[in-house]
């Protein structure tokens, strides 16, 4: 009975739990409540993934209205995988959040913080699970609005301007998206993604459809911070509270990438329009530039959080590069990097949050000599950094392996070379931090620093551990990613 309603539970649970936080108000109780909810969401998404892998697509009709009139939730391998990423990060972030929230957010507002975090998770899950293009917009705004609020919780006043700028950019992006949806509706009379994927090919490359594609990609490109639409990201990540940075970095952009995959591969996947408007080529160019610019700018940041934010811009480039190949290997590499990057970056930002908690800042001078003061936190930072470089036995290696392979399969060895050059840039920015941590004497500020509390250390190592485990045994994640990629490219179900 319940198993049948898992898709809707996945959304309703955090969505309904959020207002309850407003009623509870007591900081500790709210935290327990929110943690409990995220812990419940994770098994639901895992159950959905298992079911999808075994039995194929799950279709859930909301209120019993059949698609295309009613809204349906449609879960295939791809979004089941993304659901697991989002809920897993959510479940790890909540236990971690308590300590950072204590120092970063006034007690009177703590309950609002958890409300927004749950709402944000609900929104992201909604984007992922829904099979309706307009419903996707609604969830996009639910997650966006709550993340603007979350970012503005940051202690630094620059968090406010970062949130404001993100709000402007994000709203423009979302509005572009609905223009695209509107044009598609105009041409086909349907809002159901699956329905659209069958109706749009019949229309071929009409001008309306071309315009729709343009609006959709630009809108989502803004959301996922694809170069050159990434301007909002570094400040937002840098000044947001630690737990928020972890959550957003590991999930928000990933979900936006997912939405873009849906649009380009599911809706427009079988249309010749991609030959008329070379979206893939544009993605590739932007992805490569993102990889370079992101990595290069990262190499001269003194704020380590900002450095990782630019690194995220570069890593989003990797994902988009994988997608732009338009081959099973390439798309699978992009999808698996969604997960891999979530694990690495989540763990890295958590380690930085621990530094901020103990030392009070995350600029290079704060980090000096911490190798001795906070050995475990720093070890996680190094392990995550090695993942960004793409050293074997980390998930970063797996992603790079398949990206390079996808490039070589197409015979684009220049792209393969560019990928490794970007990895080498990662060596530069990661090692700059490593040297500061281990070779500089402990700074004045950090004299009193101790190892991070276990409630922060354990979540950090869960993510870093995952980034190592799935780098050693990547068969699980790759099986899912390849299966999803094959479905997307219509290469057998």
Partner 1 sequence: MSPTTAILAAVVVPLIGAVFIVLNGRSANARDAVTLITAIVTFVVVATLFDDVASGMRPTVTVLEMLPGLGITFTLEPLGMLFAGIASGLWIVTSVYAVGYMRGHHEINQTRFYTCFAIAISSAIGIAFAGNMLTLFVFYEVLTLSTFPLVTHSGTDEAKRAGRVYLGILIGTSIGLQLVAVVWTWNVAGTLDFRDGGILPGSISAGLTAVLIGLYVYGIGKAALMPFHRWLPAAMVAPTPVSALLHAVAVVKAGVFSILKVSIYIFGFDVLSRTGASEWLAFIAASTILLASLVAMTKDNLKARLAYSTVSQLSYIVLGAMLASGIGAVGGAMHIAMHAFGKITLFFCAGAIMVASHKTEISQMRGLGRKMPITFACFLIGALSIIGLPPLGGVWSKWYLSLGAAETGQLVFIAVFMISSLLNIAYLVPIVVNGFFFAPPEESHDDHNHDDLSHAAGYPGDVGGHNQWKVRGIEEAPLMCVGALTFTAAGCIVLFFYATPLYEFLLPIAGGGTP
Partner 2 sequence: MEQFPGLIPYWVIMVLMMMGLYIVIAHGNLIKKIVGLNVFQVSVFLLYITMAKVEGGTAPILAEGIKLYSNPLPHVLILTAIVVGVATTALGLALVVRIHNAYGTIEDEEIDKLEDQT
> Which residues of the shown chain bind partner 2 in the complex (CB under 8 A)?
134, 137-138, 141, 145, 148-149, 152, 157-158, 160-161, 163-164, 167-168, 171-172, 175, 178-179, 182, 185-186, 191
Listed in sequence order, the residues at least 6 apart from 46 whose beta carbon sits closer than 8 Å to its beta carbon are 84
Binding partner selected for residue 186 from partner 1, partner 2, none, CB under the kind-specific 5 to 8 Å limit: partner 2
Binding partner selected for residue 43 from partner 1, partner 2, none, CB under the kind-specific 5 to 8 Å limit: none
Pick the closer one to partner 1 by CB: 310 or 482: 482
x/- binding map, residues 330-369, to partner 1, per CB under 8 A? Answer: ----------------------------------------
Report the C-alpha gap between 196 and 367 in whole angstroms.
52
Pick the closer one to partner 1 by CB: 242 or 295: 295
Pick the closer one to partner 2 by CB: 134 or 469: 134
Binding partner selected for residue 141 from partner 2, partner 1, none, CB under the kind-specific 5 to 8 Å limit: partner 2
From residue 105, give the alpha-carbon distance in Å to each of 19, 164, 277: 19, 19, 47
Q: What are phi and psi of 190, to 5 degrees?
A: -135, 150
Question: Does residue number 390 form part of the binding site for partner 1 (CB under 8 A)?
Answer: yes
How many residues in the chain? 493
Angle at 17 between CA 14 and CA 22, to 5 degrees: 135
Pick the closer one to partner 2 by CB: 133 or 287: 133
Q: How far is the CB of 220 from partner 2 (least distance, A)?
A: 16
Among the listed residues 170, 124, 163, 153, the one whose alpha carbon sits nearest the alpha carbon of residue 18: 124
Pick the closer one to partner 2 by CB: 151 or 273: 151
Q: What are phi and psi of 230, to 5 degrees?
A: -100, 0
Among the listed residues 386, 377, 385, the one whose alpha carbon sits nearest the alpha carbon of residue 456: 377
Pick the closer one to partner 2 by CB: 63 or 441: 63
Report the C-alpha gap between 316 and 273 in whole angstroms.
25
Q: How far is the CB of 329 from partner 1 (least distance, A)?
A: 10
Are 79 and 38 a contacting pair, CB within 8 Å?
no
Among the listed residues 282, 280, 308, the one whose alpha carbon sits nearest the alpha carbon of residue 295: 308
Residue from 15, 478, 480, 484 that binds partner 1 (CB under 8 A)? 478
Binding partner selected for residue 372 from partner 2, partner 1, none, CB under the kind-specific 5 to 8 Å limit: none
Three-state secondary structure along 339-384? HHHHHHHHHHHHHHHHHHHHHCCCEHHHHCCHHHHCHHHHHHHHHH
* Residues in 392-451 at the binding interface with partner 1, rule: CB under 8 A: 392-393, 398, 400-401, 404-405, 408-409, 413, 416-417, 420-421, 423-424, 427, 431, 435, 438-439
Binding partner selected for residue 479 from partner 1, partner 2, none, CB under the kind-specific 5 to 8 Å limit: partner 1
Structure tokens at 169: 């950019």
Are 197 and 267 a contacting pair, CB within 8 Å?
yes
Report the C-alpha gap between 276 and 450 in whole angstroms.
59
Binding partner selected for residue 134 from partner 1, partner 2, none, CB under the kind-specific 5 to 8 Å limit: partner 2
List residues near partner 1 by CB under 8 A: 386, 389-393, 398, 400-401, 404-405, 408-409, 413, 416-417, 420-421, 423-424, 427, 431, 435, 438-439, 472-475, 478-479, 482
């Amino acid at each position: 009975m319940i198993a049948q309603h898992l898709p809707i539970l996945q959304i309703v649970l955090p969505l309904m739990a959020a207002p309850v936080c407003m009623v509870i108000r007591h900081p500790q109780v709210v935290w327990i409540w929110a943690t409990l909810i995220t812990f419940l969401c994770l098994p639901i998404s895992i159950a959905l993934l298992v079911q999808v892998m075994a039995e194929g697509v799950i279709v859930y009709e909301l209120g019993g209205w059949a698609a295309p009139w009613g809204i349906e939730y449609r879960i295939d391998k791809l979004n089941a995988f993304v659901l697991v990423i989002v809920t897993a990060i959510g479940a790890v972030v909540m236990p971690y959040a308590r300590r950072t929230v204590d120092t970063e957010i006034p007690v009177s507002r703590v309950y609002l913080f958890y409300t927004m975090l749950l709402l944000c998770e609900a929104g992201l899950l909604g984007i992922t699970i829904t099979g309706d293009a307009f419903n996707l917009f609604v969830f996009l705004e639910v997650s966006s609005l709550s993340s603007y609020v979350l970012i503005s919780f940051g202690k630094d006043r620059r968090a406010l301007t970062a949130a404001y700028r993100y709000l402007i950019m994000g709203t423009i992006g979302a509005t572009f998206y609905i223009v695209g949806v509107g044009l598609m509706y105009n041409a086909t009379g349907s809002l159901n993604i699956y329905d659209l994927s069958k109706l749009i090919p019949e229309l071929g490359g009409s001008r309306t459809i071309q315009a729709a594609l343009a609006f959709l990609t630009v809108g989502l490109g803004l959301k996922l911070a694809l170069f050159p639409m990434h301007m909002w990201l570094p400040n937002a990540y840098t000044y947001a509270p630690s737990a928020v940075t972890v959550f957003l970095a590991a999930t928000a952009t990933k979900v936006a990438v997912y939405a873009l995959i849906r649009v380009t591969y599911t809706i427009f996947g079988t249309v010749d329009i991609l030959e008329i408007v070379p979206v893939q080529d544009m993605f590739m160019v932007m992805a490569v530039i993102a990889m370079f610019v992101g990595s290069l700018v990262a190499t001269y940041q003194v704020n380590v959080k900002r450095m990782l934010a630019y690194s995220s811009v570069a890593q989003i480039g990797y994902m988009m590069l994988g997608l732009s190949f338009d081959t099973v290997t390439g798309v699978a590499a992009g999808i698996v990097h969604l997960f891999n990057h979530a694990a690495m970056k989540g763990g890295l930002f958590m380690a930085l949050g621990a530094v901020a908690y103990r030392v009070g800042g995350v600029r290079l001078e704060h980090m000096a000599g911490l190798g001795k003061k906070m050995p475990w936190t720093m070890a996680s930072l190094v392990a995550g950094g090695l993942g960004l470089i793409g050293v074997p036995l980390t998930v970063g290696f797996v992603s790079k392996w398949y990206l390079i392979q996808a490039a070589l399969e197409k015979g684009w060895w220049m792209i393969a070379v560019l990928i490794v050059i970007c990895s080498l840039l990662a060596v530069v920015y990661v090692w700059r931090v490593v040297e500061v941590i281990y070779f500089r004497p402990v700074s004045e500020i950090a004299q009193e620093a101790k190892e991070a509390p276990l409630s922060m250390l354990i979540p950090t190592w869960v993510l870093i551990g995952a980034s190592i485990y799935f780098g050693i045994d990547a068969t699980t994640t790759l099986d899912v990613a390849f299966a999803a990629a094959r479905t997307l490219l219509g290469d057998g179900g």
